[in-house]
Structure 1
Amino acid sequence: MSTAAKVTGGIAALLVAVPALLYAWTLLRPHEIHTRVDIDAPPSRVWEVLTDFAAYPEWNPFIERAEGRAEAGARLSNHLRVNGEIMVFGPTVLAASPGRELRWLGRFVMPGVVEGEHTFTIEDLGGGRSRLVQHEKFTGALVPFAGSTLDVVDEFNAMNAALKARAETMVR
């Protein structure tokens, strides 16, 4: 084997190995965001607000527009406002348990580059009260380089506050 072939083979091996190692690293140490808010409304009402995608432009400061169905296997089209910019992505719904959980997986470009698994969990606190927990787990080869792009805790908190206000003031 010639020196050029050895160098080319070595470079090719690195181009495969480095992203694979970065992806594996993020599986062990994902970038995670976790927020929560207590809401003076029952889980059924929180679910109703959360899954009424057509109404998002009226109240949601983070996911300004969402289209699709809240059912496992459905594809959504979400328009997010992050740092004044609109980002569109099409996650796939992994779970939709009315009054309990909505979970989806979004990918950038292709599997393994940047993946975000987003979970909304609704906990019944009793007495017509609920807790909404938002959790996002980012994995993928580019996650270590994404920096502040993935730091959307302020956006999660803004959405939580807006959802709380909407659920607590809905007329039934």
Structure 2
Amino acid sequence: MEEFVFLKPRKMKHPQNGMTLEYLEKQSAIAALLVSADGKKGYFVEQFRPGINGNSIEVIAGLIDEGEIDMDALYREVSEEGGYNKEDYNIIYTEKKPLAISPGYTEEKLSLYILKLKDGAKQKSLHLDEGEELEGRWLDFDEVLEKSNDFKTFYLVKIYELLNLKNR
């Protein structure tokens, strides 16, 4: 089998029954819903995803590099994929702990954030990783819930909606 870059298949013995379990070793990641200053739209990226063999509309997300902490990955990814620096937004929600993506099949955990742009924040140019192709755009939350099938996107939009209900 050809060598993988991001996924490493592993096996372990179940601690109670000795059954062989298979899983993927994969680095953890961040995901961030970037909300407009007026709170009415979110910034989403569309890109090809092999798991669905098609394009996906998602929140900004990216892997946490070796030796990097999740907050540094957050600032880097929002700058790379969104064109906004940490001075351009406030963090209005942070998940209490990184969440397991699919604990039966991967070690990956996801640190989740909701960011709100400050008034007057201006988008800068994107700095995408080599080979990364994505298009970002501002969408209404209802529209993205209709178009996206990405779990982290649904989760963060729903958390944002709950925060708005709570603050009314």
The TM-score, its normalising length taken from structure 1, stands at 0.26
Q: Which has the larger radius of gyration?
A: 1
Which of the pair is proportionally richer in helix? Answer: 1
